[in-house]
Amino acid sequence: MGLLDFMAPPAHKAELPAEKVDKEYKSMRLKVFLGIYFGYAAYYLVRKNLSFATNGMIEDGLIDKPGAGIAMAGIPIAYAVSKFLMGSLSDRSDARKFMTIGLILSALVMIVAGLVPYPVGVNGNYSITIGIMFVLMLFAGWLSGMGWPPCGRVMSHWFSTNERSFKMSIWNTAHNIGNGSLGFIIPAGIAIFATLGIEQTWRAAFIAPALVALLFAAMCWWFIRDTPESCGLPAIEKYRNDFSGAKAKKGEETKIPFKTLFVDYILKNPTLWLIGFANIFVYFIRYGIADWSPIYLQDELGMSKLDSSLAYTIREYAGIVGTLLCGWLSSKFFQGRCAPVNVIYMILVAVGVLAYWQAAPLAEALSMDVKYVVYCSLALIGAAIYGPVAMISIQAISIVPKNAAGTAAGFMGLLGYLIGDAILSKIAFGYVAESSLGWNFTFECFFATSIIAAIICFVAMGKEKKMLAERIAAAKAAEQK
């Protein structure tokens, strides 16, 4: 049996007796949700490791800051392409196997990164270490692309359209949990390494989180199942009587060729392109604020490393509250539609960016320490930006057939990570900040793109409402025949 045969989705089983369906459905939905939640959180345990190891590697003469920056760029570059390509592969694979194998391989790459005997730089030349680390980070970024698409596939098969926005908003906090957990796992790993007499304790930044990720990979295998039909359960639309989701074309219900996936459901889908452009701006703000805030706060506002780190943490965890509220608002007031909430949240992002930009004069006017204005403005940005991050992905998988969900999610990731993150927030931002234009111009860009994204989401709002109404009408008409 070849690899493709091994990865193929499991066949549908005979449907369980009607009296057993409800109990089994509730049990399985909880299991698959926990599987993709903690599984996706674990993917973030094996993505940001180099950031935590850099200072120790610099102290040991293995790398410098510019070199570390080059190496770290390998992850978003590879991840952007991988998330898209892996999305189409995921649509034709068993989500359980796909996600578990990707997590295991990602963990193994980080373990290798923690074990490699890197050479000490000579006369400021760290090219060997930079090269090795860049390649390893490319592998890590590529394998990270196996995390989101199977989650999108599971959500589209196990949760119906009118409940998906809230469920996915809960699930989308997994990356906040994963990122936040590094602050506990890595210090614990360093302490253990020191107890064992290992001098280069920075290696724990790679190895300790990877070992934890392997444990969660076992959980993924135990909990995740590909589709309800593969467990002898009816389709989610039938179970919840919700037929507002997109349908595949006749004859394509089980497996869509890649050409059809990409051309018919992506390239020829103007609504997907519309929200894709919004996603570019959302990711530019998300990572532009996050990646550069420590430097900006210390260099421009004179905050200490401890205070700037706390500001970063506040922004990250405020995202959990904002994401959950975003999903609740979508389900409670907009029948699961995403665009209306995105408009509200991007306006809030613009307000937060303005306050963050003008933190110093605001603090003076309010007779406050500037750090408290920063904390509040970053909390608002964090709470607001992660809502659209989640909602746009939900919107993407809701406007395509279920068996194209991974490709749609991957396409959003390609635009967001490659253009919004790697090109705009890292490369372009760095050059602009160092140029004569300075920080003020970057904040003008943040504010402008917040407003533009809100406008795009407003335009998409009408299209989304019309599309869902047409699907519900078509489903009712089909029932009457």
Q: Tens digits of per-residue pLDDT, 195-251?
A: 998 889 999 989 999 999 999 999 999 999 989 999 999 988 888 876 655 554 444
The model carries a pTM of 0.72
Q: How far apart are CA 481 and CA 476, in angstroms?
A: 9
Query: Per-residue pLDDT averaged across 136-144, rounded?
Result: 93
**Residue pair 93/8 in contact by the 8 Å Cβ criterion:** yes
140: closest CA among 35, 220, 39, 45?
Answer: 45
Q: Tokens 């933190």, residue?
A: 359
pLDDT in the model for residue 9: 85
pLDDT in the model for residue 250: 47
Instruction: Tell me what percent of the residues of the chain surpass a pLDDT of 90.
Output: 33
Q: How far apart are CA 381 and CA 26, in angstroms?
A: 35
Q: How far apart are CA 91 and CA 104, in angstroms?
A: 20
pLDDT per residue over 341-393, tens digit each? 999 999 999 999 999 999 999 998 999 899 999 999 999 999 999 889 888 87
pLDDT per residue over 445-456, tens digit each? 999 999 999 999
Q: How far apart are CA 420 and CA 366, in angstroms?
A: 34
With vertex at residue 40, the alpha carbon angle to CA 38 and CA 32, rounded to the nearest 5 degrees, is: 60
Query: Per-residue pLDDT averaged across 114-133, rounded?
Result: 88
398: closest CA among 232, 237, 222, 224?
Answer: 237
**Residue pair 205/68 in contact by the 8 Å Cβ criterion:** no
pLDDT per residue over 67-111, tens digit each? 777 787 788 889 878 877 777 788 788 999 999 999 999 999 999
pLDDT in the model for residue 313: 77
Q: Phi and psi dihedrals of 367, rounded to 5?
A: 55, 50
The residue ranges of DSSP E strands in 346-473, in sequence order, are: none
Q: How far is CA 152 from the centre of its chain?
A: 11
pLDDT per residue over 246-298, tens digit each? 554 444 445 566 666 677 777 778 888 888 999 999 999 988 887 777 778 87
pLDDT in the model for residue 336: 73
